[in-house]
Amino acid sequence: MNLWMRFFKVLLFSRFRSKIAPLDEAAIDFRVWVPDLDVLRHMNNGRYLTLMDLGRIDLMIRCGLAAKLEAAGYYPVVAEETIRFRRSLGPFQKFTLKSKVIGWDDKFFVMRQEFWVRDQRFAAAFIKARFLKKTGGSVAPAEIMSMAGLPHAKAPHPTFVSDWNQFGAHFDADFSK
């Protein structure tokens, strides 16, 4: 129930928060609740990934893209993600989740999402996501950029993304066996 309440809160209140540009950083505040905890009494590693979904929803609503995607019958999916933990978030601790698109290519968008407590970063993640059509098939980032009112130019990826893409190619080859 905890996640559903957060989900509906994001859907409702993100519409009234300050508007941002599609490539701006979005920040949203949360608190660690008891259902977020694992047996060691800190936020469960899987909960970070789930909350990151809410951060991306907040960003899409606040930049005006969510309504356009819905009207077009498009939806985002995560293709890959990696996260690094530095500190643990404890019971009832307040934190800020920051989300930002940092690059894209012909298929994927790359985002950085970070968990902050005041001026300390507790965790950082990178996500590769793409958009699919409800009728089937994928949507090129160029079309999403156009919907967002941005010129499509191939954004430079951080250097690690090419290594990440190679890992994905090896994984795909092994997976098909």
| DSSP 3-state percent helix, strand, coil across the chain (nearest 5) | 40, 30, 30
User: Which structure tokens are listed for 153?
Assistant: 């130019």
> How does 6-38 read in b/e, with b if 16+ C-beta sit within 10 Å?
beeebeeebeeeeebebeeebbbebebeeebbe
pLDDT at 171: 65
Q: pLDDT digit of tens for each residue in the chain (177 aa)?
A: 568 999 999 999 999 999 999 999 999 999 999 999 999 999 999 999 999 999 999 999 999 999 999 999 999 999 999 999 999 999 999 999 999 999 888 888 999 999 999 999 999 999 999 999 999 999 999 899 999 988 766 666 666 677 777 666 666 766 666
pLDDT at 155: 65
- Distance, in Å, from the CA atom of 14 to the CA atom of 7, rounded to the nearest integer, reads 10
Closest listed residue to residue 22, CA positions, set 57, 51, 62, 54: 62
Domains of the chain: 2-175 (3.10.129.10)
